Chains A and B, each alone.
Chain A
Amino acid sequence: MKVTFHTNTLKEKLELVSKVSTKHVTLPVLQCVLLEVTKNKVVLKATNLEIGIEVELEANTEEEGVVAVSASLLTQTVFLCNQAEVTLKTEGEVLVVESKNSTTEINTIPAGDFPLIPKVSNEGQRIQKETFVQGIKAVAFSASQSSIKPELGSVFIFQKKEHSLTFVATDSFRLMEKTVVQKGVVFEDSVLIPHKNALELVRVMDSSSGDPLYKTNENQLALLFDDGVYITSRLTNGSFPDYAQIIPKEYVSHSTVLKEDLAQTYKKTNIFLNKFFQVGVIVSKDDLTVSANSGELGTATESVSANTEGEDLTLSFNQRYLSEPLSHINDESIVLHFAGVGRPMVIEGVNDKTFRYLVMPMNK
């Protein structure tokens, strides 16, 4: 195998691909990037058995061939190359990376061990990349980090209304729902993407150009971009809980506050959180009082001016669940809807009605 690349193109594509390969302890070939060199075309592949990625790029091929080589070694070597062109060639079991006045030899791994990357072979449909990315980014933080219930560790995507997609994630303590515009997109079936994979898809979507073709089958989802990037993820097999029924139908009070005020407040109470991250929230007519009591260290009490309609209330929350969503909300003012003690609290935007965040209070 012998092929010459524009260094910058190779850098860009390697960066895209190499993040997928992991330090897989048992199978060294999973740390590799696979280079398939054919006439005028090179395909870079990597997989961690959760996600598979293939990237095509143009190159000047002298000799065809296939080689698997450690992704991190190759990436680091190419990144430190400051020449316009770089040549990769195999010599026996070794890959030689050559540029003007530099030669690096990297040991290869048998390419035959490299896994097959699943293909989703149906027509698919174009989705709108930007809003799809928005949807995932807005909800993924709420997904469960534990692997016990895979459906809760996933981002749930389904079509609630025409020309839009709804994204939901929950770890059973809080839940984020976001609806984004997807003109002309029709989802017959909902999908559950493991949240880590979903974020990986976001990364690839952000660095690829144009709207991708979206394809799914029973077990896999795939995105195909016009610039020759193909990425596929495993789907979670299972059903997402019926979350619509837990959204309160009636509230006892509504407080409107400025998001920034609340964010500042949480920063201060954050210093005195106890091991449960507990904060007390007192809702009254003109303000919202947040207090933290760490026991040994001390206490902090902060008030934010708020416009409250309805009953006065006192509740406890895990502060992480209150502060995390704020960075994913674009609206300046938000409304906190309280359904009463022991019932979920709902956060919505004053102007931005595309999201809804649900959080359960603490028991004591």
Chain B
Amino acid sequence: MYSPTHTNNAGVIKTEQVDVKKMWDDALVAIELSITPANFKTWFKDTHIVSLEGGTVTLGTPSVFVKDWLADKYQLMILKVLRELTPHVRSIEYAVVQKNSKRQDKQQTVNASLPLEEYYINKNDNLNPKYTFETFVIGPFNALAHTAAKTVAEKPGVTYNPLFIYGKTGHGKTHLIQAVGNRLKKNGKKVFYVTSERFAVDYFNSLQSGTANNFKDKYRQYDILIMDDIQFLANKEKTQEELFHLFNAMHDNNKQIVFSSDIHPSLLSGLEERLQSRFAQGMIVDIPAPDLESREAILRAKSAQNSIVLEDDVVTHLATTIEGNIRELEGALNSIMCQSQLLGRTLNIDEVKQIIKNNTRPRKTLAVSDVVDKVARYFDIEPATIYEKTRKKEVVKPRQLIMYILREDFQVSYPSIGQKMGGRDHTTVIHSCEKVKNDMKNSPELEEEIAQIRLLLK
């Protein structure tokens, strides 16, 4: 059971660990005196105290043989010795903990070894250690989701249970829910991350092999269950039913459950109502598309993680041309990284533009007049006025936007934009584009407008 008082800060935990180690060393001295050396060597070698919580000592043993033997033969003696040292010890539990020896392989050999690598993802809980709160970039768009996740990580099973995070692909759902898992794992909780698809396959396999009970036990043992992409459970009625029972069992025991999906639970079709209503009983939070500033922040954070240097104008360019999906930002960043490694230097803005052009989805080529028509219609003015030499405020802004879009989205050259916009000088065009870019930084409304116009042009 979880107790809220256990949210110690790191310092407290550390001193407790030191005490625990000394406590067991002292206990071992006493135990050594009271049993034969053979027994002491066989049964107490490689034992240690894993934790001391509320008077219960958990002893780590190297194997089940030792665990069973200590519990059977030495329980009373260990308890007595520990009580003499620390009077508030009430009971002892045993666990099998194999120590991984940290010694380096000193074997001298001329044989090259196979480049074997550990699975990056931990097989016991499926968590990717890369996803942590520390690497999560917080912006206005995901601040709420971040706070909710953080609260859950601090007080699992208490505040928001279940936590339901939804948002489009590439907005950081998986990162956030795995960060919750990684944090709780660090605090010693049993965490399990599973995609809904894997859950369904697991369940199906257990039915086939007649081990449904093992399946139930396996999932009920966790303190925190994180299930990603719940929308894939649509129309899988049997699996949903199993999830329903699992949910109830965990929720009743104050165990935390975290879900993610690409849409709001009430819009999930093919999902039973009783499940939907249960998703709604905790906290539902949305991660919308990142705004421009957040995209810049994300790019800066990601480039710092990969230790590459990006010029400010490169960051701005990337953030303005690639909207919405963080994964696409990462993709662009990766190709820039790759290219700059190849050339052995930092790339300038033109080279970056070249790379991005190849990487972003090919856009339809549109006639300039189409763009003008659509933008004019958006602002509810006559298309013809755009080409005129008027400086009316309601015309100037659409005209500048058109120039900006023609330049950024369709890579039309400055002089030819000027020419098509009623014979303007290319410096005028450059000025307009810069102005829009600068204004966009300070005005989310403008950014929103441009996003809408871009939608119209698709």
Instruction: Name A residues whose Cβ lies closer than 8 Å to a Cβ of B.
Output: 24, 26-28, 30, 47, 49-50, 52, 113, 115-118, 122-123, 125, 146-150, 170, 172-175, 186, 188, 190, 218-220, 234, 236-239, 241-243, 245-246, 276, 278, 318, 321, 342, 344, 358, 360-364
**Given contacts A242-B117, A344-B114, A362-B110, A27 and B65 within 8 Å (CB-CB):** no
Q: How far is the CA of A239 from the CA of B117 in the complex (A)?
A: 10
Closest A residue, CB atoms, query B217 = A122
Is B38 within 8 A of A186, CB to CB?
no
Which residues from A are CB-within-8-Å of B37?
26
Which residues from B are CB-within-8-Å of A243?
114, 116
Nearest-CB distance from A125 to chain B (Å)?
A: 7
Q: How far is the CA of A203 from the CA of B395 in the complex (A)?
A: 90
Q: Which 4 A-B pairs give the minimum distances between C-beta atoms?
A: A186-B209, A241-B116, A237-B98, A118-B64
Q: How far is the CA of A218 from the CA of B110 in the complex (A)?
A: 38
Is A188 within 8 A of B202, CB to CB?
yes
Which residues from B are CB-within-8-Å of A220?
64
Q: How far is the CA of A128 from the CA of B424 in the complex (A)?
A: 83
Q: Does B328 contact A (CB under 8 A)?
A: no
Per-residue A-contact encoding for B113-124, CB less than 8 Å = 1, 0 else: 111111110111
Q: How far is the CA of A241 from the CA of B64 in the complex (A)?
A: 25
Closest A residue, CB atoms, query B39 = A27
Q: List 12 A-B contacts (CB under 8 A).
A: A26-B38, A49-B42, A116-B69, A123-B210, A123-B213, A147-B101, A149-B105, A175-B114, A186-B209, A218-B96, A236-B98, A242-B117
Q: Does B68 contact A (CB under 8 A)?
A: yes
Chain A interface main SS type: loop
Which residues from B are CB-within-8-Å of A115?
65, 68-69
Q: How far is the CA of A18 from the CA of B412 in the complex (A)?
A: 86
Is B113 within 8 A of A241, CB to CB?
no
**Given contacts A49-B65, A278-B110, A148 and B105 within 8 Å (CB-CB):** yes
* Extra inter-chain contacts (8) besides given A117-B65, A239-B124, A362-B112, CB under 8 Å: A26-B41, A173-B112, A188-B206, A218-B96, A236-B98, A242-B117, A242-B118, A362-B110
Q: Does B103 contact A (CB under 8 A)?
A: yes
**Given contacts A146-B107, A188-B206, A242-B119, A118 and B65 within 8 Å (CB-CB):** yes
Chain B residues touching A, range: 35 or more
Q: How far is the CA of A359 from the CA of B255 in the complex (A)?
A: 47
Q: Does B100 contact A (CB under 8 A)?
A: yes
Q: Which of B73-129 contact A (CB under 8 A)?
A: 96, 98, 100-101, 103, 105, 107, 109-120, 122-124
Q: How far is the CA of A362 from the CA of B110 in the complex (A)?
A: 6
Closest B residue, CB atoms, query A238 = B100
Is B98 within 8 A of A150, CB to CB?
yes
**Given contacts A116-B65, A242-B119, A173 and B211 within 8 Å (CB-CB):** no
Nearest-CB distance from B107 to chain A (Å)?
A: 7
Most chain A beta-carbon contacts within 10 A, residue among B105, B112, B117, B202? B112
User: Which of these, B109, B115, B214, contacts A122 with CB under 8 Å?
Assistant: B214
**Given contacts A146-B105, A148-B105, A219-B96, A360 and B113 within 8 Å (CB-CB):** yes
Q: Does B72 contact A (CB under 8 A)?
A: yes
Q: Which of B50-79 contact A (CB under 8 A)?
A: 63-66, 68-69, 72
User: Which of these, A28, A50, A186, A342, contacts B211 with CB under 8 Å?
Assistant: A186
Q: How far is the CA of A111 from the CA of B317 in the complex (A)?
A: 79
Is A234 within 8 A of B107, CB to CB?
no
Which residues from A are CB-within-8-Å of B103?
148
**Given contacts A146-B105, A362-B112, A364-B110, A49 and B66 within 8 Å (CB-CB):** yes
Is B105 within 8 A of A234, CB to CB?
no
Nearest-CB distance from A310 to chain B (Å)?
A: 21
Most chain B beta-carbon contacts within 10 A, residue among A170, A172, A362? A172
Q: Does B205 contact A (CB under 8 A)?
A: yes
Which residues from A are CB-within-8-Å of B214?
122, 188
Is B42 within 8 A of A47, CB to CB?
no
Is A27 within 8 A of B38, CB to CB?
yes
Closest A residue, CB atoms, query B98 = A237
User: Which of these, A150, A173, A362, A364, contacts B100 with CB under 8 Å?
Assistant: A150
Instruction: Name B residues whose Cβ lies closer than 8 Å to a Cβ of A.
Output: 37-39, 41-42, 63-66, 68-69, 72, 96, 98, 100-101, 103, 105, 107, 109-120, 122-124, 202, 205-206, 208-211, 213-215, 218
Nearest-CB distance from A48 to chain B (Å)?
A: 9
Q: How far is the CA of A149 from the CA of B114 in the complex (A)?
A: 14
Q: How far is the CA of A287 from the CA of B173 in the complex (A)?
A: 58
User: Which of these, B96, B112, B122, contacts A363 with CB under 8 Å?
Assistant: B112
Q: How far is the CA of A344 from the CA of B208 in the complex (A)?
A: 39
Closest B residue, CB atoms, query A118 = B64
Is B111 within 8 A of A49, CB to CB?
no
User: Which of these, A24, A26, A358, contacts B114 with CB under 8 Å?
Assistant: A358
Is B113 within 8 A of A173, CB to CB?
yes
**Given contacts A236-B98, A246-B114, A360-B112, A125 and B209 within 8 Å (CB-CB):** yes
User: Which of these, B64, B110, B117, B213, contacts A276 with CB under 8 Å?
Assistant: B110
Is A246 within 8 A of B116, CB to CB?
yes
Is B116 within 8 A of A172, CB to CB?
yes
User: Which of these, A24, A174, A363, contacts B110 with CB under 8 Å?
Assistant: A363
Nearest-CB distance from B14 to chain A (Å)?
A: 25
Q: How far is the CA of A54 from the CA of B42 in the complex (A)?
A: 21
Which residues from B are CB-within-8-Å of A123?
210-211, 213
**Given contacts A52-B65, A220-B64, A148 and B211 within 8 Å (CB-CB):** no
Is B98 within 8 A of A172, CB to CB?
no
Q: How far is the CA of A113 from the CA of B100 in the complex (A)?
A: 29
Which residues from A are CB-within-8-Å of B113?
172-173, 360
Is B205 within 8 A of A186, CB to CB?
yes
**Given contacts A123-B211, A148-B101, A362-B111, A219 and B116 within 8 Å (CB-CB):** no
Nearest-CB distance from A361 to chain B (Å)?
A: 7
Most chain B beta-carbon contacts within 10 A, residue among A26, A186, A241, A361? A26
Is B111 within 8 A of A173, CB to CB?
yes
User: Which of these, A170, A188, A237, A361, contacts B112 with CB under 8 Å?
Assistant: A361
Which residues from B are CB-within-8-Å of A174?
114
Nearest-CB distance from B191 to chain A (Å)?
A: 16
Q: How far is the CA of A321 from the CA of B111 in the complex (A)?
A: 10
